[in-house]
């Protein structure tokens, strides 16, 4: 198949792709199709080295994909359907069950992981393994209570690089990072 044929077929695919119920696919699914096709074509045995999203030879198919995404937005179907939040009584049951006890290193790890996911990870499991102490900013509020915030903007997925000139602090954070990776690997 030539590049122009591939572009033509992608254009038709983006225009006509529907679920088994005949409904349009979501934005993330359409983008996932493009990414999956790219990954398939760029891995062995094909190794084409194609960039479907940015190559000028795929402008027509990308215009069709963009048009479909705009149609989804206009019809109000671009938004992702989220799972319902954990209800307060279920949260209390979890805490009372001892699952989040601080009595052992494993339970402490589960406790910390659960609260990080609950308060910071709004993109499902995306990027959880890449979290380190540099992923968070730690501070103290006016009342003297410690708190943490994310060190990167979730919308852009851009991580702010924090320069650490103090070698003691840098070594401590690197040690923590190694321990965190080791514990994550064991799970």
How is 150-180 classified by DSSP, letter by letter?
ESEETTTTEEPPPP---HHHHHHHHHHHHHH
- Specify whether 112 is located in the same domain as 132: no
pLDDT per position as a tens digit, 69-85: 999 888 877 666 667 88
- Cβ atoms within 10 A of the Cβ of 7, count? 19
In a domain, 35, yes or no: yes
The pLDDT value given to residue 175: 56
> Residue 66: helix, strand or coil by DSSP?
helix
- Specify whether 45 is located in the same domain as 100: no
**Weakly modelled stretches of the chain, pLDDT under 70:** 78-82, 122-125, 153-187
The pLDDT value given to residue 164: 42
In a domain, 15, yes or no: yes
The pLDDT value given to residue 127: 73
pLDDT per position as a tens digit, 150-180: 887 655 454 444 434 444 445 555 555 555 4
Across the chain, the runs of DSSP E, i.e. the strands, are: 136-140, 146-150, 152-153, 158-159
Give residue 165's domain range.
127-187
Does residue 16 have a cis bond before it (omega within 30 degrees)? no
The pLDDT value given to residue 99: 86
- Specify whether 64 is located in the same domain as 24: yes
- Cβ atoms within 10 A of the Cβ of 65, count? 24
The pLDDT value given to residue 26: 87
The pLDDT value given to residue 187: 47
Q: Which residues pair with 121 in a beta bridge?
A: none
- Specify whether 9 is located in the same domain as 68: yes
- Specify whether 11 is located in the same domain as 69: yes
What is the domain count for the chain?
A: 3
Rounded Cα–Cα distance for residues 180 and 35 (Å): 30
Cα 2 from chain centre: 33
The pLDDT value given to residue 124: 64
């Amino acid at each position: 198949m030539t590049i122009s044929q591939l572009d033509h077929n992608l254009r038709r695919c983006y225009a006509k792709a529907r679920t088994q119920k005949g409904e349009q696919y979501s934005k993330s699914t359409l983008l996932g199709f493009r990414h999956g096709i790219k990954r398939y074509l760029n891995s062995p045995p094909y190794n084409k080295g194609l960039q479907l999203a940015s190559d000028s030879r795929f402008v027509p198919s990308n215009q069709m994909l963009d048009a479909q995404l705009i149609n989804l937005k206009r019809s109000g179907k671009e938004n992702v359907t989220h799972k319902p939040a954990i209800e307060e009584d279920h949260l209390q049951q979890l805490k009372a069950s001892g699952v989040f006890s601080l009595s052992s290193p494993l339970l402490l790890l589960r406790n910390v992981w659960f609260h990080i996911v609950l308060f910071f990870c709004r993109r499902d499991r995306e990027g959880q393994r890449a979290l380190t102490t540099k992923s968070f900013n730690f501070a103290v509020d006016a009342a003297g209570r410690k708190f943490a915030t994310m060190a990167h903007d979730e919308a852009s997925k851009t991580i702010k690089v924090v320069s650490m000139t103090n070698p003691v602090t840098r070594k401590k954070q690197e040690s923590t990072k190694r321990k965190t990776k080791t514990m994550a690997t064991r799970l």
